[in-house]
Chains A and B, each alone.
Chain A
C-alpha cells in the first residue's frame, strides 16, 4: 500500500504543503476527542470493505458516522441512512472523512467548504493513501483544519493503545497508561 510520500499531489510545487508530512499525537488526539458526529464520504454497504470496517469500529467507540455515497443513497449501513451528498445530510457534522481517491478529494473538498457554515464542519480528514494538497490549501484558506493520509480508526487505535495489542509500533513512549481520545 502506498503512503504519504508516494501520493503527494503532482504538478505545481506550490501545492505541496510540508506541514502535512507529519501530524503530532497531540493534534490527532485533540481532533479525535473533539468530534462527535462526522460524515464518511465513500462509505460502503459491503461488510468486507475497509470503509465498512472503519465505520463499524468508530461507531462502536461512540462516534456517530453518517454514510455518504451517491450510488447507495437511501440504503442503510450499520443502522444509519446513506445520503447522496454532504448537502443532503440533515445533521450538524463536526468532520468529513473522505474515503475516495486523491483525485476525487478536490471536488468533495469544495462541497465540504460550501456546506461548512450550515453544517458546522470544522475538520476535513482524508483517509490513509488519500492526499490532495490543492484541496487542503483551499480548505485551510476556508478555515478548516485538515488531516490527510491517515485513517481515523488506525489513529484512534494507536492513541488508545489498542493497535499495540496486535504488535503494531505505536511510536508512543509514555510513563502513563494510554487512554482513548474521547
Chain B
C-alpha cells in the first residue's frame, strides 16, 4: 500500500522522527483542532448547524451507541464545530481532551456530577466568583453534595478540611475578583496525597498566562465566555482533562474505575485510558443533564480564541499601567493586583503568571460603599456590567451585584467587600482608559 504522500502532508514533526515538535501557544490558538473540511476544503471551521447525524447502517448505529466507534450521533453530546473548540482549548492547556458546554457554571456542574455521588464532599477555595460560591454553597447541597470553603492563601487549610468523603479540591488559580494567586503546586501535592484530583478554574489567567497542568492540576475549567471568547458576545464553558490522573488508584471514583450502570457496565478509565474522564463527562453527564454548547456559539468562541495571545498581552500591559496609576491616586485606598510589586502575591504571580497578572483586579475607593458606587456611575467608556474578559474595559461594584447574595463576611472573605470596585481592563488605548477613571474618581 502506498503511503508516501499522506505521510508527508500530515506530519506533525517538522524536523524528523526523533523528537516531538512542540508548537507555541500562538500557533495552537490559531490552528489546533482545525484542519480544512475534508469534503469542501473550507479553511475556516464550518458551522455544523444540525441536531443529528445519519448512521451508515444498523451495525454502525449500534457501535456508536456502545461507544465502540468514534462518530457523531446527536449534537447534545458531539458536534463537529464544537469538537474543534474542544480540541483547541485542550491543546492550549496541554491537556488530553475537553468537553465544551453551555457556560462556566455548566462546566462546574459536569465535573461535580461526574466525580460525586449523593453524600460526597469537596473542598473549595473561598476566593471565587460570587456565583460559584452560591452554586457550591446553596444549590449543590440540594443534590447531596457538600462544599467545605477554605481560605486558600495557606495551602495547609485544604489539608485541614480533608475528610474521607472529599472527592476533589477546587480553586481559581488567579482568583476573581481579588487579585489573589493560589499556590497551585502546593495544593496539587496535598490533593494527590489523598488520592483526589485538583480542579482549577483557569478563566482569569487563560492558558496564555498559566497552564495549571504544568503545576500538577488534573482538571481545568473555563468560563469560555471570558478571555477564551474574549469579545463579550457568547456564553460557554469547557472542562479539560490532563490525562495524568489515575482514577483507579483507589475506590473513590466508582463511576470511572468500576463498571458503570449508566453505560451497560463499561469501565471508562480502562476502556478509554487517559481520556476516560472526558468520555465519561460527555457520554453520561452531558448526555443526561444536557447543558450543551450550540454550534454557532462554538464558532463565535473559536473566532475569539484565535487572538487570545495577542489580546492577553494588551490586557496585561494595560492592566499593569492602570494598577500602577491607581495606587498613586489620592482617592484610592488600596489596589489588589498581583502584578504590582507591593502585592503580597507578587512572588506567586512571578512564578505562576510570569507573562502578566491578568486584567481583572480590584481597588478600594476612599469613602467606602457610596464612593465605590459613584465611580461606577461616573465612568464614560468603562461599561458597568457583570462580565469580565471582554475587549472593552468593564467596571463593577461586586458587593451590590455579583456578590450581592453573600453575607458581608462572605463578601469580605471573597475579596468583594463594600468599598471594592472591580475592573476588567480592556484592550483600548491605555491613556483613554486612565483618563476615564481619572474623571470618574474626580467626581466620586
- Give the residues from 48 to 99 in chain A that come closer than 8 angstroms, CB to CB, to chain B: 48, 50, 53, 56-57, 60
Q: Which of A57, A151, A154, A168 has the most CB of B within 10 A?
A: A168
Task: Report chain A residues within 8 Å CB of B191.
Answer: none
The answer on a CB contact under 8 Å between B3 and A33 is: yes
Instruction: Say yes or no: B83 contacts A167, CB within 8 Å.
Output: yes
Question: In the complex, are the beta carbons of B35 and A174 less than 8 A apart?
Answer: yes
Choose among A27, A53, A166 the residue that contacts B97 (Cβ–Cβ < 8 A). A166
Contact partners of A29 in chain B: CB under 8 A: 3, 6-7, 10
Residue of A nearest to B70 (CB): A162
A34-B282 Cα distance, complex, nearest whole Å: 34
Per DSSP, chain B at the interface is loop
Given the complex, which residues of A lie within 8 Å of B67, measured CB to CB? 53
Q: Which of B85-93, B151-159, B217-225, B410-418 contacts A (4 or more CB under 8 A)?
A: B85-93
Q: B35–A167 contact, CB under 8 A?
A: no
Q: A170 to chain B: which residues have CB within 8 Å?
A: 33, 87
A165 / chain B contacts, CB cutoff of 8 Å: 70-72, 78, 80, 83
CB neighbours of B119 from chain A (8 A) = none
Which residues of chain B are near A53, meaning CB under 8 Å? 67-68, 271
Is B390 located at the chain interface by the 8 A CB criterion?
Answer: no
Judging by beta carbons under 8 Å apart, are A168 and B97 in contact?
yes
When distances are taken between beta carbons in the complex, the residues of chain B under 8 Å from A154 are 273
Q: With a CB–CB cut-off of 8 A, which chain B residues contact A159?
A: 10
Q: Is the CB of A162 within 8 A of B71?
A: yes
Chain B residue nearest to A29 (CB atoms) is B7
A60 touches B96 (CB 8 A): no
- Cα(A1)–Cα(B269), bound, Å: 6
* Min CB–CB distance B28 → chain A (angstroms): 8
B12 close to A157 (CB less than 8 A) = no
Closest A residue to B43 by CB, please name it.
A175
- Among A9-17, A18-26, A115-123, the stretch that binds chain B is A18-26
> What's the Cα separation between A22 and B19 when bound, in Å?
7
How many chain B residues sit at the interface, stated as a range, is 35 or more
Say if the beta carbon of B330 comes within 8 Å of chain A: no
Expressed in whole angstroms, the minimum distance between the Cβ of A71 and any Cβ of chain B is 19
B264: which A residues are within 8 A, CB to CB? 48
B278 contacts the other chain (Cβ, under 8 Å)? Answer: yes
A178 within 8 Å of B (CB atoms): yes
Residues of A within 8 A of B9 (CB): 174-176
User: Given A25, A168, A173, which contacts B27 in the complex, CB threshold below 8 Å?
Assistant: A173
Give the chain B neighbours of A129 by CB distance below 8 A.
273
Could you tell me if A50 and B270 are in contact, using CB atoms closer than 8 angstroms? Answer: yes
**Does A114 reach chain B (CB closer than 8 Å)?**
no
Whether B275 lies near A168 (C-beta < 8 A) is: yes
Chain A window 130-171, contacts with chain B (Cβ cutoff 8 Å), 1 for yes, 0 for no: 000000000000000000000100100101011111111111
> When the two chains form their complex, are residues A182 and B72 in contact, meaning their CB atoms are under 8 A apart?
no
The answer to whether the Cβ of B69 comes within 8 Å of any Cβ in the partner chain is yes
Q: Are A157 and B70 in contact (CB under 8 A)?
A: yes
Which residues B1-24 have CB closer than 8 A to chain A? 1, 3, 6-13, 16-20, 23
Contacts of A177 in B (CB 8 A): 35-38, 41
Provide the residues of chain B in CB contact with A33, threshold 8 Å: 1, 3, 6
Cβ–Cβ contact A166 & B3, under 8 A: no
Is A179 an interface position by the 8 A CB rule?
Answer: yes
Contact present for B271 and A50 (CB under 8 Å): yes
Q: Which stretch of B244-252, B343-351, B381-389 is in the interface?
A: B244-252
Partner of A164, one of B17, B33, B247, B282: B33
What's the Cα separation between A27 and B72 when bound, in Å?
Answer: 28
B102 to chain A, nearest CB (A): 15
Contact A178 B97 (CB under 8 A): no
Q: Establish whether residues A26 and B282, one from each chain, have CB atoms under 8 Å apart when the complex forms.
A: no
Query: Which residues of B are found within 8 Å of A24, using beta-carbon distances?
Result: 11-13, 16-18, 20
Task: Knowing A48-B264, A162-B71, A173-B23 are in contact, say whether A167-B13 is a contact too (CB < 8 A).
Answer: no
Residue A3, interface by CB 8 Å: yes
Complex contacts, A171 vs chain B, CB 8 Å: 12, 20, 91
> Chain A residues near B27 (CB, 8 Å)?
173
Report the bound CA distance from A146 to B106 in whole Å.
44
Q: Write the chain B residue with the least CB distance to A27.
A: B17
Q: Which of A47, A165, A181 has the most CB of B within 10 A?
A: A165
> What's the minimum C-beta distance from A25 to chain B, rounded to whole angstroms?
5
For B181, the chain A residues whose CB sits under 8 A away are none
What are the residues of chain B within 8 A of A50 when measuring CB–CB? 270-271
Distance between A114 CB and nearest chain B CB, rounded to angstroms: 27
Q: C-beta contact mask, B88-109 vs A, less than 8 Å → 1, else 0?
A: 0011000111111000000000
A30-B10 CB under 8 A given contacts A50-B270, A154-B273, A177-B38: no
Nearest A residue to B80 by beta-carbon distance? Answer: A165
Asked whether, in the complex, the Cβ of B265 is within 8 Å of the Cβ of A34, the reply is no
Assembly CA distance A173 to B33 (angstroms): 7
Query: Is A128 an interface position by the 8 A CB rule?
Result: yes
- Quick check: is B342 within 8 A (CB to CB) of the other chain? no
Residue ID in chain B nearest A50 by CB atoms? B271
Question: Does the CB pair A56–B63 fall under 8 Å?
Answer: yes
- Pick 10 A–B contacts, CB within 8 A, sort by A: A1-B276, A24-B11, A25-B11, A27-B17, A30-B3, A165-B80, A167-B97, A169-B32, A171-B91, A181-B6
Chain A contacts to B: CB under 8 angstroms:
1-3, 19, 22, 24-27, 29-30, 33-34, 47-48, 50, 53, 56-57, 60, 128-129, 151, 154, 157, 159, 161-179, 181-182
Q: Which 3 A-B pairs have the closest CB atoms?
A: A167-B86, A177-B38, A162-B70
Other 8 A-B pairs with CB < 8 A, given A48-B265, A167-B98: A24-B13, A24-B18, A57-B69, A129-B273, A164-B87, A170-B87, A177-B35, A181-B6
